[in-house]
Amino acid sequence: MATLISRLRPLKKRFVRKYEFAKQLTVPKRDYGDDRSGPSVDVTFSNGRTLTLSTGKYARFANGTAVCTQGDTSVMVTTVAKPKPSPGTSFVPLVVDYRLKSAAFGRIPTNFFRRELGPSEKEILSARLIDRSIRPLFPNGYRCETQLICNMLALDSVHPPDVLSINAASASLSLSDIPWRGPVAAVRLGLCDDEVIVNPTRRELQSSNLDLIVAATKHNLVVMLEGKGNTVLLQDLLKAIKQGTKETHNIISSIERLQKMYGKTKKSIEIPSEAPSEITEAVKTMSEMRLREIFRDSTHDKISRDNAVNEVRANVVDKVWSSYPDVEPAVINEAFNKHCKEIFRGLIFEEERRCDGRSYDDLRNITCQVDIHKPLHGSALFQRGQTQVFCTVALDSIESALKLDMLTALESGVKAKNFFLHYEFPPYATGEVGRVGPIGRRELGHGALAEKGLRPTLPSDYPFAVRLTSEVLESNGSSSMATVCGGSLALMDAGVPISSAAAGVAIGLVTKYENDDTKHLEDYRILTDILGIEDYMGDMDMKVAGTRKGFTAIQLDLKIPGIPLKVVMESLQKATDAKGKILDIMKECIREPRKIKKECWPVSERLTIEPHQRSRLIGPGGVNVKRLYVETGAHLTQDDETTFTLFAPSQSAMDEAKEKIEELISSERVPDLDFGAIYTAKIVEIRDTGVMVTLYPSMPPTLLHNSQLDQRKIAHPSALGLEVGQEIQVKYFGRDPVSGFMRLSRKVLQGPATSVVRNLDRSSTQAENSDAA
């Protein structure tokens, strides 16, 4: 025994040494309290609904992680940033990835690979929504590449995850060591019976006149707006924005409490090297007068103004670099861009007018034209200044509606869209050379916004699928809102019975702050119908669309960390005034949807087909319907058991299709049969369940069941000695209302006769069949 113990002692010492070494390598745990669930805070809204924010349980290697839960929907957002700035970057390199996952719904993807593939349109739009909410709050000079990933943990199809993702992203950034001037919070607002609903469920949204997302900071500064409405009045929209801003306070307080207890210390910003003071002064001296002259000259258009500024830039950079050869040209160029922006913004305050000579509230010159090309169902050309949009409308059958992917359908509750808009922005629209290929995120966002602006004006029971295309031919600002105007004109030209015309306008903003403190706004100017340069040099791009009655879509993008509610309300009032002026101009072009039909318009009719004629019309495997489409281009769809909808691309195609349908069902013309009358039936087949009989030559066989053959109970027709070709007397009791089959009986005739016997002459029924119903 002593020998065994002496042999085990070296092994024990070796094990202890390995254990101590392993302890030294173990990553120390961050104290989050309960290690299983992590710390969490609850947020209660004014309507009693709650939201939970938590951290410390998942993804601890990320710079920051937060989970936002409402109901059974949980979204985790992780934030990771590179430790050093990316060289040569002049903007915030932020990437937001938002992906809906089938596993979170408890589903399996329906594609070939049975796994998630590329992002859908809904996922791209939601990622842009989060990006626009958090990007303005990054400090100036932050250049570290940053990525936010929104991971769907569980989705209940009741609470939409996009707003939860914004709050989780805000909490994740606040808890991380990444410099960020948050937190920001977001709520979704609905409007039912003039009452504002905070964070409505999916079912409540379906009956709501408003779907608005408001993101704001703790100083009542609105950072982002995104919404659609069913012609919402201005006062209702303002009430919803105020309510949403107020509801964000509790979320912001909860995030700050979580950050104070468990947040990491923020890293210092490595400010990019700025140009020396002598370089800055040299650039100002050589360019200020020339730039002022360019921006005061209202005869310049987009191209000439850009060329003039580029000429000054090239001249100044060359001369300053020749005097200071040790300074990089990129530093001199950045100093010029900064000075150019200061002069442009300063002149707006000094001159009380804009670079193209307009006052703050003036619109650019607008021209409209419809019915441009005869083969098109509807077309329109809308020109506003140097922004030109060509819109077309194509009408097709309901079968051509846009089918949504499974995840988007589960999340939104909509399986197909009867109206959809496709927006194109080719590179020649700005006089550039670029790649033409798959649609980009910017085009998706602008097209979705224009679609929101037009959708409430279309009837819900329109019998056609409507595809509206918008191609931007020239662009100098606000092409998405020009799409709303041109799209509304094209829909009226196509005869679509829209409730009223819709128009859109972009509102800009230029601000001044006290000592560059974004919390104390000193002065500001609101600009109506902004140019591209005013969008680039300014602080806001608020796109507003709607009818004369109210708003249908709104989108607010900011380059500063929030604007007061007062500025938001003034901007919306300016947009309302401008929208009315645009609608007056559009009314001069076309006042209402076209009533006189074009030859190229498709047509649609409803047909009533008797139940017993359906199989003959459709054919085996739908072969007759397919042949009808190939030969005439007409679509035949079944609405219910007796009603079909026939769509044809033209009236001539409709007439041809109706002739073919008449031929299909006329071959089954039947003589008028009297209810309760007795007819002679011919047995054509013997079955175990009965006999198949016909009453006239062209009739498809129908079953006379064993229970109707004799008053006695029989198991097989052979018990009665019935044979194929034998004629028997049967009584007719009409047709089954569901299946359309005849109801016949032989056993009721075995008693005293009560009806007139009818014997249909099989040799002379052809003439009768041609006239029968």
Q: Band the pLDDT of 721: cuts 50, 70, 90.
A: confident
Give CA–CA dist 487/42, Å, rounded: 45
- Identify the pLDDT of residue 538: 94
Please identify, in words, the CATH class of the domain defined by 366-589. Answer: alpha beta
| Tokens (6 digits) for 729 | 């007397």
CA–CA dist 182, 70 (Å, integer): 22
Say which residues have a Cβ less than 8 Å from residue 752's Cβ, sequence separation at least 6.
none
Please tell me the number of Cα atoms within 13 Å of 127 on its side-chain side: 21
| pLDDT at res. 517 | 67
Q: What mean pLDDT is predicted for residues 96-114?
A: 88
Q: Work out the widest C-alpha separation in the chain, in whole angstroms.
A: 125
- Which of 436-445, 489-498, 545-554 has the lowest average pLDDT? 436-445
Q: What are phi and psi of 69, to 5 degrees?
A: -130, 135
Per-residue pLDDT, 272: 67
Pick the range with the lowest mean pLDDT from 510-514, 584-588, 669-673.
Answer: 669-673
CA distances from residue 402 to 160, 604, 636 in whole angstroms, order as listed: 22, 19, 18
Query: Quick check: 473 and 382 in contact, CB under 8 A?
Result: no
Other CB atoms within 10 Å distance of the CB of residue 61:
8
Residues near 588 by beta carbon (within 8 Å), at least 6 away in sequence: 368
Angle between helices 161-175 and 234-262 (to 10 degrees): 40
Query: 40-262 adopts what CATH topology?
Result: Ribosomal Protein S5; domain 2 (3.30.230)
Q: Which of 17-26, 570-579, 639-648 has the highest mean pLDDT?
A: 570-579
What pLDDT does 384 receive? 96
DSSP at 143: -
At 194, is the pLDDT very low, low, confident or very high (cuts 50, 70, 90)?
A: confident
Antiparallel, parallel or unpaired: β 678-686 and 757-758: parallel
- The per-residue pLDDT for range 14-67, each reduced to its tens digit, is 544 444 433 333 333 444 444 435 688 999 998 899 999 999 889 899 999 999
pLDDT in tens, 727-754: 999 999 988 876 677 889 998 888 654 4
Residue type at 766 in one-letter notation: Q
pLDDT above 90: residue 226: yes
Which pTM was predicted? 0.82
Q: Which residues contact 432 (CB under 8 A, 6 or more apart)?
A: none
In the predicted model, is pLDDT for residue 361 greater than 60? yes
| SS3 of 588-636 | HHCCCCCCCCCCCCCEEEEEECCHHHHHHHHCHHHHHHHHHHHHHCCEE
Model pLDDT, residue 585: 96
CA 752 to chain centre: 72
C-alpha–C-alpha distance, residues 76 and 152, integer Å: 6
Taking the C-alpha atoms of residue 677 and residue 757, their distance in angstroms, rounded to an integer, is 7
**Amino acid in position 611:** P
Element (H, E) at 541: strand 540-546
In degrees, rounded to 5, the angle at the alpha carbon of residue 301 between the alpha carbons of residues 296 and 306 is 80
d(C-alpha 348, C-alpha 342), whole Å: 10
Fold identical between 40-262 and 366-589?
yes
Residue 413 confidence (pLDDT): 76
Q: What pLDDT was estimated at residue 476? A: 93
CB 745 within 8 A of CB 702: no
The 8-class DSSP code of residue 659 comes to H
Residues in the chain: 773
H or E stretch at 514: none
Q: What percent of the chain has pLDDT over 90?
A: 57
Q: How many whole angstroms separate alpha carbon 335 and alpha carbon 324?
A: 14
Phi, psi of 434 (to 5 degrees): -155, 180
Q: Domain locations in the chain? A: 40-262, 277-351, 366-589, 603-666, 678-771
pLDDT at residue number 350: 92
How high is the pLDDT of residue 741?
A: 78
| pLDDT band for position 640 (cuts 50, 70, 90) | confident
Closest by CA to 482, choosing from 713, 473, 566, 52, is 473
**Residue 311: both structure tokens together:** 């000429």
Q: What is the pLDDT of residues 242-272, one digit of tens each?
A: 999 999 999 999 999 999 999 999 998 877 6
Q: Following CA atoms 578, 478, 231, 238 in sequence, which dihedral angle do they give, to the nearest 10 degrees? A: -70
Contacts of 13 (CB under 8 A, 6+ apart): none
For the four alpha carbons of 233, 235, 241 and 244, in that order, the dihedral sign comes to negative
Mean pLDDT across the stretch 123-146? 93
Which homologous superfamily does the CATH classification assign to the domain defined by 603-666? Answer: K Homology domain, type 1 (3.30.1370.10)
Instruction: Report the distance separating Cα 421 and Cα 458, nearest Å.
Output: 13
Average pLDDT, the chain: 87
Token couple for 103: 């596993």
State yes or no: pLDDT of 74 exceeds 90.
yes
> How does pLDDT run across 277-315, given as a tens digit for each residue?
889 999 999 999 999 999 999 999 999 999 999 999 999
pLDDT in tens, 592-623: 999 998 888 999 898 888 877 787 788 777 88
DSSP for 235-269, written as a single string: HHHHHHHHHHHHHHHHHHHHHHHHHHHHPPPPPPP
Q: Which CATH superfamily is domain 678-771 in?
A: Nucleic acid-binding proteins (2.40.50.140)
Confidence bin at 240 (pLDDT 50/70/90): very high
- Residue ranges of E strands in 475-537: 503-513, 521-528
Residue 504 has pLDDT above 60, yes or no: yes
pLDDT of the residue at 137: 94
The secondary structure of 420-452 as a DSSP string is EEEEE--GGGGT------S--HHHHHHHHHHHH
* Domain 277-351 classification at class level: mainly alpha
Rounded Cα gap, residues 375 and 740, in angstroms: 43
Residues 564-576 as b/e (b if ≥16 CB within 10 A, e otherwise) read: ebebbeebbebbb
pLDDT value for 9: 57
Distance CA 196, CA 211 (A): 10
Report the pLDDT averaged over residues 141-170. 93
What are the pLDDT digits (tens) for 377-434?
Answer: 999 999 999 999 999 999 998 888 888 888 888 777 788 899 999 999 999 999 889 8
Tokens read off for 621: 């495997």
The pLDDT of residue 24:
36
Rg (CA), the chain: 36
Assign 163 a pLDDT band (cuts: 50, 70, 90): very high
CA distance linking residue 213 with residue 224, whole number of Å: 8
| The token pair that represents 412 in the structure block | 């939104």
From the list 248, 253, 217, 183, the residue with the least C-alpha distance to 41 is: 253
